[in-house]
Structures are given as structure tokens and as C-alpha cells.
Amino acid sequence: MKNSQEVLELDNVCTYIGRTEIVKDASFQIKAGDIIGLIGPNGAGKTTVMKTILGLTKFTGKITMSGAAITENNHHALEKVGALIEHPAIYPFLTGEQNLELYSHHHQDMVKIISELGMDSYIKSKAKGYSLGMKQKLGIAIALLNNPKLVILDEPMNGLDIEATIGVRKLIKKYADRGTAFLISSHILSELQKVMTRVLLISGGKIILNQSIGQFEAISHQKYKLTTENDEQAEHLFKTKGINFKKQKQYLIVGQEDIFKIQDELAKKKLHLKEMLPIEANFEQIVVDTLNKERD
Amino acid sequence: MIYSIKQEFFKLYHKKMFWLAPIIMLVLMIFTGYAIGSDEARLTAVMCYDATDWITFILIVIGATSFSMEYQNNAILTLLYKASNKIYVYLSKYLVLLVYDIFLHLVAVGYTIVLKGFLFKSNISWTSINYYHQPLWVNTLQATLLDLAVSMLIITIIFLLSCLINSNAVVMTTSLLVVLLGESISSDIMSKPKLVSVLKWNPFNMLNLSRQYGNYATYHLTTHLSNVELLMGTLIYIAVFFVIGYWIFRKKRF
Ligand SMILES: Nc1ncnc2c1ncn2[C@@H]1O[C@H](COP(=O)(O)OP(=O)(O)OP(=O)(O)O)[C@@H](O)[C@H]1O
Ligand SMILES: [Mg+2]
């Protein structure tokens, strides 16, 4: 049921802490059903972007939620936003259920979220005794209460085991299919790769890339590593045919654009490929590549 | 706003201290009743068997955790973004403590009536004329109202401190020191006879209001102010500290 209804828009937003500019000229949109991954290394400004959207910092530029402006002193537009920022907001002297009741407007809804996150067995005990992952789930549950149009999750997979991570991913997808938009941060690219529909890369407070996941995967998979029966011969061949390559351990690294040519040339010389695999570029590599491209 | 107040109440009455406080208070009041005995029956009835002091301690403990629990449990960001204006976060906490303060004072008066009627019987009746040529029951009522004002001043100070200092242990200790040493700090400040006319208006002096009401002769010597002047000062300082506290809260980055 995806539609392209716009939920959130940032226009030239700069965030200041004291006099320091932390977020630098961020502009992007989030549409209903989008799952945006806000990816960046520690200190890149992910949390600050989220706090800014929630009207918790001093900023310039414009932020609108379904057309209504969000400012530091007017949060009316945030009514349909759920958020988990940095650490879950949980009172240890309340039970998990009471922590939810504190914010919940619809009891039925709350009960459903509890079971969706598999928290039924411990929801009635005091949050004091919860493990890191249990608290994290409760924080996610709080963010999902009251049918939000936009859910902001700051490093939601922190402390979750594999099973829980998969569960949360599924839940996010389910809500997104119903039209809820998500803005989710992580410093680990692969954590969100399986759910996100768009990627926002942030580094040093600047949004350096904003692409759909399809476009993004094209960049991040653009290198291949291969070995042949006789790599010395292959190297010589690549050199004479003007094919760029790098040596890395036992592999030869080549660009995606040369793949067909390489296969042809190797076939002509009757050199058999032993192995050829796409390389998933790591985060740092993509940031470096993107910045390099910007400079060109 | 009403929603924020409801949330604050929800948190308050789920705290152990909320239910424990009236019980602790009763025990301490009975203890005070026995310790002082019947010689001072009048004074103890007016001061609700020292309940006013116990209420102060309870409020310091609950008030100091009111903000620090939000910082420590990372809930402050959630509270702030969900509130349409920052003032609602501050105000709802304040109002809830005000209501709890009133509740504790009512409980104290209730206990006093019961204790005086059954446990600490004396021949001074509620209608007998006592301080300020008024019947005992009027004295008790007035003392309670004045103490309410003083305890709100203390809450205002606690809120101000909570916004300056994130640790509730430090806030609690500082507030306790202010309350316990307020009187002597105040008389130290006023040790220079020439400046007394100005310095008698220092905020610590106002904390003597309810004690002075029950023991005018002794306290007036140190406060140099009349009961009415002390009350005026208390109310003005509540307003001033509230505004400063909120201003600090507003400026604070989380
Ligand atoms: N209260 C603050 N005072 C001064 N600088 C701050 C403050 N909060 C954040 N910063 C600075 O802002 C920058 C971005 O911080 P932010 O917390 O948004 O990063 P992040 O991307 O969320 O990092 P992480 O992955 O570690 O959570 C950092 O360089 C940090 O030093
Ligand atoms: Mg962060």
C-alpha cells in the first residue's frame, strides 16, 4: 500500500550546539512507507540530525512534517512521530507495561505491539530487571505506539540478539508496508541493508549521499575479486589489454565495468577462472569513494 | 498539558516513596509526640507534631528525583519532544509536587486531630485561645498554610538546583543543607548590624516562617521580620526562583 505521500522534509538544515555547526546544510525528504537508513561512523551527526527533527536543538533552515513546521518551541507537528533516541527512555520502577501505558492512547494497539515484539513473558515485571535487549525492545515498542506516521530509531539493533534483530527488521517492514515511514540510524551498514529503501550517508555532519537502495548497491558492489588457474599469466594479459586491476592477497581486484571483457579475454587464452566474487565495499571505502567523486 | 500532568501523577504514585511517606510521617509524629510530652501540647498541635519538618524531607527526596530520574533514565528527550512547549514539562512537574505537598499537609492535619484526640490527650481544647489571640484550630490551620508556602519555596529551590546539577545525590544534599543551615546562614549573613535592613530579605531567612509562627519571640530576634513580611518574601522568592529555574531548564542542552 505504498504511496508517495511526503511525511517529512528538511530544507537546508544546519544544527548548532553552542556556536559549533554540527549538522551542515542537510536537505532530504521522507515519504510514507520509506525506510531510510541514516548511516555514518561514530560522531558523524546521526543522533544530532534526529534530535533536530524532534525540535530538541537550535537550528536554521526549515523542517516540516506533513506540511506543518517543526521548530524548537513548537512541537505540535510531532504528534505523529515516535522516537527512540540513543538509549530507550525507561523508568525502572515501572513494569514494562506501565512504561508503555505512560504514552499509549490505545490499549488494544499496545497489547498488539507487545506480542509483535515477543515481550509478553516479561512485560508485567519491573523494568529494573530487564536485560539490555529487553530494554531496547521496550524502547522500540514505545516508538511504535499510537500509529505514528514517522518512526525515528537511533541504533535500534543495539544489544539485540540475531533472532530479535530479525524480528525487529520484519516488524519495521510490516509497519512500512502499511505506510509508516522510518528513519533509522546505524554505524553498521549491513545491519540495515536488508530493510532500508533509501540510504543517507552522513560523515562529518554532511549528508554525502542520498540514494535508493538499488542505486546504492550498484556502487557498493562495483568491485569483484577473482583468481584464475594462472594469475601471473592473467596479470600479464590484463596489462596488455589495458584492464585496471589491483593485487590483494591471492586475489586480483577488478572493476565491474571490465567483467565481460575479462571473461572474453580469459576465454580466448583458455585461462579458467577459479573464483569470481563481488566485493561488498566496506563503509569507509564507500565514504572515501563518494567524497572522491564529489571532488572530481 | 493535562496529559503531561497525568503522566507525572502516574510516575509519582508508582513510586514506593509515595505510599511510604504518609506511614513514615505517622511514625515520626508519634515519636515526636512522646518525645516532647504534654508540656508543649499546644505547640506540638500547632506544628502538627513536627510533621512540617518531615514533609520537608520527603519533598526534598521526591523533588530531587523528579528531574534526575528523567536524566538518568534517558526520558528527558522523550518528554521534551512529546511536549508542545518546554514550559509544560517544567510546570507539570511543579504542579504535581504542589498537589502532593498539599496532600501531605492534609494528611498531617488529619493525623494531628487523631493523635491529639486519642493518643496525646491534653486539657487544651481545639477551641481554646492560643497564639495571636486565636483558637488553637485556627493556629494549626494557619501554621499549615504558612508551611505550605515555605515547602513550595523549598521545592522551587530544588527544581532550580536540579536544572543546574544533574546528580540527584548532590541536589538532595544541597537542599538539605539549605534547609538545615538556612537559619544560621541567614543570621551569619546578617551579622553586620548596618546591613540588616537589606539582608533580612535574603531567601534563607524566609525558611524560618513556619517556625517563627509557633515561636515568635525566639525567631523574630534572628529574622528581624514579621510573619507577614516573611510570607510576602516567601511568595516573591517562589516566583523569582521559579522563573530562574525555568530559564536554566530552557537553556539546558540534553
Ligand atoms: N552536547 C554536545 N556538545 C558538544 N558537541 C556535541 C554534543 N553532542 C554532540 N556533539 C558533537 O556532535 C557531533 C555529532 O554527534 P552525534 O552524537 O550526532 O554523532 P552520532 O553520529 O550519533 O555518533 P554515534 O554513532 O557515536 O552515536 C560529534 O562530533 C560530537 O562531538
Ligand atoms: Mg548517536
pLDDT in tens, A20-68: 999 999 999 999 999 999 988 889 999 999 999 999 999 999 999 998 9
Confidence grade of residue B10 (pLDDT, cut at 50, 70, 90) = very high
* pLDDT at site B225: 82
> Chain A: nearest CA to B243, how far in angstroms?
17
- Ligand 1 pocket, residue A45 CB under 6 Å: yes
User: In the predicted model, is pLDDT for residue A1 greater than 50?
Assistant: no
- Contact (Cβ atoms closer than 8 angstroms) between residue A176 and residue A153: no
- Ligand 1 pocket, residue A48 CB under 6 Å: yes
* pLDDT at site A284: 62
Query: Which of A75, A81, A93 has its CB closest to that of B14?
Result: A93
Chain A contact for B38 (CB, 8 A cutoff): no
- Ligand 1 pocket, residue A17 CB under 6 Å: yes
Tell the residue nearest (CA) to atom 22 of ligand 1: A47
Q: Using one digit for the tens of pLDDT, what is the confidence trace for B156-215?
A: 998 998 888 877 778 888 888 877 777 777 777 777 777 777 777 888 888 888 878 777
Exposed / middle / buried, residue A28 (Cβ in 10 Å: 0-12, 13-18, 19+): middle
- Ligand 1 pocket, residue A44 CB under 6 Å: yes
Q: Cβ contact (<8 Å) for A51 and B77?
A: yes
Q: Cβ contact (<8 Å) for A94 and B81?
A: no
Query: Best of A74, A93, A99, A105 to disrupt the B interface by mutation (most B CBs within 10 Å)?
Result: A93
Nearest CA in chain A to B10: A102
Q: Cβ contact (<8 Å) for B15 and A93?
A: yes
Q: How far apart are CA B45 and CA B137, in angstroms?
A: 9
Chain A contact for B75 (CB, 8 A cutoff): yes
Joined together, the cell numbers standing for residue B66 give 523528579
Report ipTM for this prediction.
0.82
Query: Best of A91, A135, A152, A154 to disrupt the B interface by mutation (most B CBs within 10 Å)?
Result: A91
Chain A contact for B3 (CB, 8 A cutoff): no
Q: How far apart are CA A86 and CA A237, in angstroms?
A: 53
Count the neighbouring beta carbons within 10 Å of the beta carbon of residue A112.
12
The pTM score is 0.83
Tell the residue nearest (CA) to atom 31 of ligand 1: A43
Q: Using one digit for the tens of pLDDT, what is the confidence trace for B75-126?
A: 999 999 998 888 999 999 999 999 999 999 999 888 888 887 777 777 677 7
Q: Give residues whose Cβ lies within 5 Å of ion ligand 2.
A: A 47
Strand partners, A17: A20
Q: Cβ contact (<8 Å) for B74 and A88?
A: yes
* Inter-axis angle of helices A283-295 and A213-220, nearest 10: 100
* Strand ranges for B116-179 from DSSP E: none
- Residue A175 or residue A289, greater confidence: A175
* Inter-axis angle of helices B86-114 and B2-13, nearest 10: 50
Chain A contact for B2 (CB, 8 A cutoff): no
